[in-house]
C-alpha cells in the first residue's frame, strides 16, 4: 500500500500545525493531541511530514505520561521510492485517565 494521504487530510493536518506553532515539545504535543482528537488517528509518517514533529514517538510517549491512552497499531506502506516501511498508527482510546 502506498503511503498516500488524501489532500483534505493534509489540509487539516497543516491547519493543526499552524494553530500550534513552535518546535519545542509542548506545541508538538498539542499538534499530535489535536490530530488524534479531531481526525481519529495519525500515522508517524503524517505526524513527521504534515504536523512537523521531529520524533512522533517521543510526543506520543509524552501524551501517555500525561494520562492519555494512545494505542499504537502497525501498518506497512510503500514510500515514493518503492521501499516498504512499517509505520505506527496512533489512536486515542479515551481522554485522560
Separation between Cα atoms, residue 77 and residue 43, nearest integer Å = 11
Q: Which CATH architecture has domain 7-96?
A: Orthogonal Bundle (1.10)
| 16-64 confidence digits (pLDDT tens) | 999 999 999 999 999 999 999 999 999 999 999 999 999 999 999 999 9
In DSSP terms, which residues pair with 96 in a beta bridge?
68
Listed by start position, the domains of the chain span 7-96
Q: Which residues are CB-neighbours of 74 under 8 A, at least 6 positions away?
A: 86, 87, 88, 89
Question: pTM to 2 decimals?
Answer: 0.90
* C-alpha to C-alpha distance for 49 and 52, rounded to whole angstroms: 6
Amino acid at each position: 500500500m502506498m503511503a498516500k494521504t488524501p489532500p483534505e487530510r493534509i489540509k487539516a493536518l497543516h491547519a493543526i500545525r499552524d494553530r500550534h506553532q513552535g518546535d519545542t515539545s509542548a506545541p508538538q504535543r498539542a499538534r499530535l493531541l489535536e490530530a488524534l482528537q479531531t481526525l481519529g488517528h495519525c500515522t508517524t509518517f503524517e505526524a513527521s511530514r504534515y504536523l512537523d514533529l521531529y520524533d512522533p514517538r517521543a510526543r506520543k510517549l509524552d501524551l501517555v505520561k500525561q494520562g492519555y491512552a494512545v494505542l499504537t497499531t502497525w501498518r506497512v506502506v510503500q514510500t515514493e521510492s518503492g521501499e516498504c516501511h512499517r509505520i505506527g498508527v496512533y489512536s486515542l482510546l479515551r481522554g485522560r485517565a
